[in-house]
Amino acid sequence: MPEIASPFKITCHKEKLESYLRNESIFPATLEFDLTSVCNRKCPDCPSTTSLPSKTLETDFIERLFSLLEGQTRGLLLTGGEPTMAPTFPEALRLARKHGFVDVVVVTNGTFLNEAKVASALLTYASAVRVSLYDWSTESCGGLHPTLKRIEALRSRIDQEGSKLQIGVSALTSKKNAKGLSAVTQEVASAGGHWIYFHPLCTKWETGSPSRVDQKGVLNKIEECQASQPDGFRVFAFHDRYMENKIEFNGYHSAHFLLVVGADGMNYLGAEVKYQRQHIIADVAGNWRNDFLWQSERLQRIQAVSSKTYSAIGSRHRGVLYNSLVEQLMQRGQKAADGSLPFSRDEFLFPHIL
């Protein structure tokens, strides 16, 4: 069965990876794109709390960016803020399909899942909707059970209309909530979710130095959940985010594979430092250029970052882990397709979403 996340997911894009290892210019595999910074919630420790207030991207900019990436970038992760609050939400999904995105995943807090225009856009255009649960043990951030009710209603429509849309839930883990992982997994499965994805809770997003909280005992609980699920429901985790091995890299390689654009139209180095002004590497909306991906100033900023100087390395976010893998390949002078990295797109769910 396919996985959803791993440092090796980047090797699904062997042509891009091999081109990069030859020091050639490449288009990103994935666009992570904030439609809006507006959100109806202020969940504790949500990275979006660092975003700027009341920024929403216009349709003309969305189409211009999608057009530039057409035929080259096949994965779109639509985020926020709360993307379903953006007036442009349905049109953005339609444009994504028009411009050839293959995997289109929407990250949402789930509040508006059952609003007519939101549900219709998701059922028609999206590959998956990923509902973020930041604290399912209390009634903060809207509470768990109202969200599950909306998931249940959307799943009913999926089944009735024959939509291929998948409903996933992402849940943050810590030593403190490890004992509750089994219960929340069961509730998501019962509500009609297709899968749940666990990843570590980080704090200090607002400082630009996010780091994991204590994750002792979490992986064992996740593995117990994985072993006890009925057919048709999956439990995923990004295991390397829970490890303690040393991370080393010279240059933020992931920025060439994962393009992160905020609701302010800025291109940020990585998802873990979105809206941190010191990590802006290009002003896409304010200084549009068709060649912005290869501007010398942007490339220099990417290359200047190393594991020794990067303040967000403690998050062990996916971009950081991709950096480590690419660095290892560069140091070994190894190609992605030489047989020692036998990962194909079939081994990952939504392979175009890094």
The tens digit of pLDDT for each residue in 264-310 reads: 999 999 999 999 999 999 999 999 999 999 999 999 999 999 999 99
* CB-based burial, 217-246: b 16+ in 10 Å, e otherwise: ebbebbeebeeeeeeebbbbbbebbbeeee
| Six token digits for residue 226 | 């994985």
* CB-based burial, 31-44: b 16+ in 10 Å, e otherwise: bbbbbbbbbeeebe
pLDDT tens per residue across span 51-108: 566 789 999 999 999 999 999 999 999 998 999 999 999 999 999 999 999 999 999 9
Could you tell me the pLDDT band of residue 141, with boundaries at 50, 70 and 90?
low
Return the closest-CA partner of residue 75 out of 27, 132, 130. 27
**Amino acid of residue 231:** D
Our CA dihedral for 58, 269, 134, 34, rounded to 10 degrees, sits at: 10
pLDDT tens per residue across span 162-206: 999 999 999 999 999 999 999 999 999 999 999 999 999 999 888
| Six token digits for residue 197 | 């994805």
In the chain the domains, ranked by start, together with CATH numbers, are 7-347 (3.20.20.70)
What is the predicted pLDDT for the residue at 171?
Answer: 93
Residue 203: DSSP 8-state? E
Pairing assessment for the beta strands 75-79 and 30-34 based on DSSP bridges? parallel
Mean pLDDT value of segment 327-345: 70
